[in-house]
Amino acid sequence: MKFNRIALIMAMEDEAKPIIQELGLDHKGKLISPLPMEYYEGTFNDLKIDLITSGKCDRFNVDHIGPQAAILNAASAIGRLRPDLIINPGTAGGFVQAGGEIGDVYLSYPMICYHDRRIPIPGFDAYGVGSYYCYDTRELAKDLNLKTGIVSTGSSLDYTDKDLDLIKSYGGVVKEMEAASIAWVADLYKIPFFAVKSITDLVDNSTPTEEEFLKNLTSASISLSREVVRIIKYLAG
């Protein structure tokens, strides 16, 4: 499949910085005023590249992260930019039990689920999990020597036992906070979508997620950038 315009939809500015630098993207200000999303654009060969971060929360002075901001980011980016492929690069937690290691980079496949939308009414239970199909990344992963797996999204950086039970039930190997939300909006518009996730921490070891996350955010963002640039080169043909 040949693409003309790729939107990279991202949460945190620190995750995005190395990609913005590597691809030489220009900061164009806010995507849509008065919304917080920051818009960067550029080209790679014949490929138009848009990168949108969810921007900063003025009140708490932190980046907008999580599923709610991701929905607003994706809907605004699609409305204004009409990309023909959406990629969500970001950092994430991995699982020792699934062979995950810090620094690994995963492509989502075959689907992206929610692990904290429990609605125990028939029909709504499956709706809550979502199970959004994503772009078939298997060839891309094979050619670039990356892992693939089911990405699992939730609103919290930590987890409850119920979260882990759900992740286990569908075989999730990457835990993060945005991909399923972007997958849903992309699916409504029938735009191909996949996530690229760089592992900052291991969910099923003894160190609290937040400690490992902060310690490894910079290095994981650099690995993420390296792989995103390889993916863009590959897609640009």
Options 163, 178, 201, 227, the catalytic residue:
201
Residue 66 per-residue DSSP state: S
Among 19-27, 40-48, 59-67, 92-100, the segment contacting a copy of itself (CB under 8 A): 59-67
The yes or no reply on residue 31 touching a copy of itself (CB under 8 A) is no
- Considering only 14, 155, 222, 229, the residue that binds a copy of itself (CB under 8 A) is 155
Residue 213 phi, psi (nearest 5): -60, -50
The yes or no reply on residue 68 touching a copy of itself (CB under 8 A) is yes
3-state SS, residue 237: coil
Among 45-53, 83-91, 149-157, 219-227, the segment contacting a copy of itself (CB under 8 A): 149-157
Q: Quick one: tokens of 159?
A: 């987890």
Amino acid at 161: D
Q: Smallest Cα–Cα separation from 40: which of 23, 64, 15, 57?
A: 23
3-state SS, residue 51: strand
Question: Has 201 been annotated as catalytic?
Answer: yes
- Smallest separation (angstroms) from a copy of itself to the CB of 1: 20
**How far apart (Å, rounded) are the C-alpha atoms in residues 144 and 17?**
22
Which of positions 189-208 make contact with a copy of itself (CB under 8 A)?
A: 189-190, 208
- Smallest separation (angstroms) from a copy of itself to the CB of 67: 6
**How far apart (Å, rounded) are the C-alpha atoms in residues 73 and 231?**
22
Q: For residues 25 and 166, which CB has a smaller minimum distance to a copy of itself in the complex?
A: 166
Among 21-29, 99-107, 119-127, 218-226, the segment contacting a copy of itself (CB under 8 A): 119-127
Q: For residues 159 and 232, which CB has a smaller minimum distance to a copy of itself in the complex?
A: 159
**How far apart (Å, rounded) are the C-alpha atoms in residues 104 and 236?**
23
Catalytic residue numbers, as ranges:
15, 201
